[in-house]
Amino acid sequence: MPSSHSLGHTVEILATVPHFSGLDDATLRAVAQAAVRQVYANDQVVFVEGEPSDGLFIVETGWFKVSKMSADGREQVFHFLGPGETFSALSVFTEMTNPATVVALEQSVVWLVHREAMLRLLDTHPKLARVMVQKLATRVQHLISLVEDLSLRTVEARLARLLLESAGQGTVQRRRWATQTELAARLGTVPDVLSRALRKLAAEGLIRVARHQIEILDIRGLEERAMLE
């Protein structure tokens, strides 16, 4: 349990998380009192697919990758998760093992609310339960969209959509860990195919690729490319 000083800090962090931002102070404090701070190093595994999950993880700082590995060693990335996001929410409602592997992409800090503590909170705070269900429904919709993209859209279309979703002020900042390999795994392809797709979008004047960022030059054109099947 956090100390009296860190409790206030934890409440402030939770208030910025979409899962908890609409909750009253009493509920936020109850969640904060149950949260345990954990630090992960770059490339450290939080848990592996098939292992039991400890509960709900809340990201304070850093970035994580959620992925599955096929029998032949090919990786499919489902999410890159950063500050204010959560993972392993499904484990709160089921005793099934983790469906994916989570790895820290850089030194990161998370807050863990163990499953038993989270269940007690859900029993005593109905609004928290509603928020959790809503967020799980949103995550399911994301996975359905991912399946649709992988099944029906080309790599170029998937790349165009990812760039549009990731852009801030017309620019996608490329973090140190956002290598061609990581981005290719996110799109369900391989680095060579991703490189060709980037070059093609750049040649058509839709984007400009630099070392640490990708600038969107033609939003309308990129939106049209994202809709192609």
Average pLDDT, the chain: 88
Q: Is the pLDDT of residue 3 over 70?
A: no
The pTM (predicted TM-score) of the whole model is: 0.78
Percentage of residues of the chain with pLDDT beyond 70: 97
Q: Is the pLDDT of residue 194 over 50?
A: yes
Q: How far apart are CA 103 and CA 114, in angstroms?
A: 19
Smallest CA-to-CA distance from 106 within 59, 41, 196 is with 41
Question: Which of 41 and 21 is assigned the larger pLDDT?
Answer: 41
Q: Is the pLDDT of residue 61 over 90?
A: yes
Q: Is the pLDDT of residue 101 over 50?
A: yes
Kind and range of the H or E run holding 68:
strand 64-69
Q: Is the pLDDT of residue 4 over 50?
A: no
pLDDT band with cut points at 50, 70 and 90 for residue 170: confident
Alpha-helix residue ranges (DSSP H) falling in 22-168? 25-34, 90-93, 115-124, 126-152, 155-166
pLDDT band with cut points at 50, 70 and 90 for residue 1: very low
Q: How far apart are CA 188 and CA 190, in angstroms?
A: 7
The whole-number average pLDDT for the span 109-135 is 89
Please give the domain boundaries of the chain with CATH numbers for all domains.
4-150 (2.60.120.10), 154-226 (1.10.10.10)
